[in-house]
Structure 1
């Protein structure tokens, strides 16, 4: 089994490569975002390089952000969800993106400069989502995340939810989109060990029941986990010929990732909970 260091190194390398650019036409990225609930109007409002096709849901559906709120996006990448959150919280609010990958953060900062107001209510913080020392306890009204917690090694996932609990004000909420392994399903051990599937958000996914336990153990109430019933195979079907980035192909254990039926094991879930 891979160590935490090996996992983090692989994740960092993969997402540094992802930050280098979109596919040539951008159709793959749009197909993924649309498949998971983002509207054409939302996508049109973003800097072009903010959408890298890394979504597995739309956390804004549950977040219901309001004017004046402080929202923190865990694993903010190139700024996709942060830039969508910023106009919702308005000039009196703040949208904060947290990411450990410097290449992604640099891309997010470039994207921020292209916003009409220069991203006046947008801030990015470099930190692992297990230990966000740059943000004060009780400073956020809402924490969102999109297909990132599953990249954290299983033994460290409780740290993420304890950190989210620390950041939230009393009555604050967490709204996450993530890939989870369906209860009563089991990913084969060889696939669990495959780093290609890990950085692709499948091998590191928790069971639905495990995710619920992490939230409750951290102190959250009103935990709701809902299967979006979206087709995860969009990750394999959205790219046009000649439109792919480097890194696609067979996994380390010889599995053809493009032909794998992700839906057989996992699903796209929306997760919501409240800090009492």
Structure 2
């Protein structure tokens, strides 16, 4: 998929999520990825849409008076939590390119009392309309993977530009454990579901290093990505048409794929698919692929085998 197609699909998908009612399982998903009930009860209820893949605030070590920027802030979930940490002398700034998400975030801000240390800005995270060297910390939660691969270097360059010397990044994101097959990489359902666009761990390490970061730590959170599916099923799919990251729409595509093809891993570490319409965060049976170059076939595909939720921390030199 080209960049324009990716951005259009992401805008459409997340705009639909922003306009939908809050999923009943959003709290359970947030807790599955590291948030406490106390945190969830301390912010506007409609700020949590169940789109997290981790809790970047758990590694951000925010202090009173700091400025923190959230890349891809959505309905304001992490911004409101960060604002509590930095206090009235600090600032919590959310950046998002989706007008519907920004509208929901700003509405949440007003409903929660309109704290003066909270601000939401429209912009793409590859080109952020904020001055240089303003932030002490940059956070992001399951967003950078949505940026087209060719444009990800711009995101890391922007983080370096915005941070003060000694500033830090604290990110939760989906990273690939191994290269994806072409069909999975090009699946729209899997892309907007935070999976098909994810990079390998080594790619993030390289981009951080190239942009002047040190003390780089990238750790597998060992979270079960199938939590999205489990919660969707438990929640009766009340927003079935606009299910979030790894939600019902992607699962339906995966089910469709199960009757069409298979994904096979080759001896060189690459993978191919046989007429598969693979998607995000799903387990589905695959037919045996008997290609000459295949070393083995997977009878079942579990997204945890292909990708995982990772905690990413680094300090700007």
TM-score where L is the length of structure 2: 0.82
Between 1:221-230 and 1:247-256, the stretch displaced more is 247-256
Structure 2 partner of 1:250: 253
Shift of 1:27: 3.1
Choose the corresponding residue for 1:197, options 164, 177, 190. Answer: 190
Deviations 1:23-60 (Å, cap 9, x if unpaired)? 5xx43211210110000010111111100011000000
Map of 1:60-75 to 2, 5 A cutoff? Answer: 60-75=57-72
Report SS of the residue matched to 2:196: coil
Deviations 1:176-228 (Å, cap 9, x if unpaired)? 0000001xx22221111101000000000000111111111111111100000
Structure 2 partner of 1:153: 148
Larger Rg: 2
Map of 1:138-217 to 2, 5 A cutoff? Answer: 138-182=133-177, 185-217=178-210
2 CA distance for matches of 1:202 and 1:131? 23
1 CA distance for matches of 2:206 and 2:306? 20
Runs of 4+ more than 4 Å apart: none
Report SS of the residue matched to 1:27: coil
Structure 1 residues 199 and 49: alpha-carbon distance in aligned structure 2, compared to 1, 3 A threshold? same
Between 1:56-65 and 1:252-261, the stretch displaced more is 252-261
Unaligned runs of 5+ in 1: none
Report SS of the residue matched to 2:253: coil
Report whether the alignment pairs 1:51 with 2:65: no
Structure 2 partner of 1:77: 74
Deviations 1:55-84 (Å, cap 9, x if unpaired)? 000000110100000000000000000000
Structure 1 partner of 2:36: 39
2 CA distance for matches of 1:190 and 1:166? 35
Report whether the alignment pairs 1:3 with 2:2: yes
Contact 2:167 2:315 in 1 (8 A): yes
CA RMSD of aligned residues (A): 1.4
Report whether the alignment pairs 1:12 with 2:11: yes
2 CA distance for matches of 1:272 and 1:237? 29
Report whether the alignment pairs 1:265 with 2:306: yes
2 CA distance for matches of 1:98 and 1:269? 21
Count how many residue pairs are aligned between Structure 1 and Structure 2: 269
2 CA distance for matches of 1:188 and 1:237? 25
